[in-house]
Amino acid sequence: MTHFGIRALAMIHSIALLLRASSAALGNGGRPSGSADHPERGDVPGWVMITLMSAVLVAALLALAGPALEGLFNQAMDKVGN
């Protein structure tokens, strides 16, 4: 496995741990305990989930395309070095 793949897997693992910790801390359907329901409160946990899922998607794409990108970069650096 390449360096990019290892880093991507580590990032995915960290995000999974963060999701588990945040869902356990929030509880009550994603709302902190003791907070009053306000009609304009917003959906912060939903936006957090979208952001984290985007990060997971980027990490997965990097894990899949990492070796090809690394080869392309090395080839470009070899051309510049000559």
pLDDT at position 13, please?
A: 75
Q: Which amino acid is at 72?
A: L
pLDDT at position 28, please?
A: 52
Task: Dump pLDDT digits (tens) for 44-60.
Answer: 677 888 888 999 999 99
pLDDT at position 47, please?
A: 81
Task: Dump pLDDT digits (tens) for 4-58.
Answer: 667 777 777 777 777 777 666 655 555 555 556 666 666 667 788 888 899 999 9
The 3-state DSSP composition of the chain as helix, strand, coil percent (nearest 5) reads: 75, 0, 25
Instruction: Give every CB contact of residue 23 below 8 A, 6+ residues apart in sequence.
Output: 30
> pTM surpassing 0.85?
no
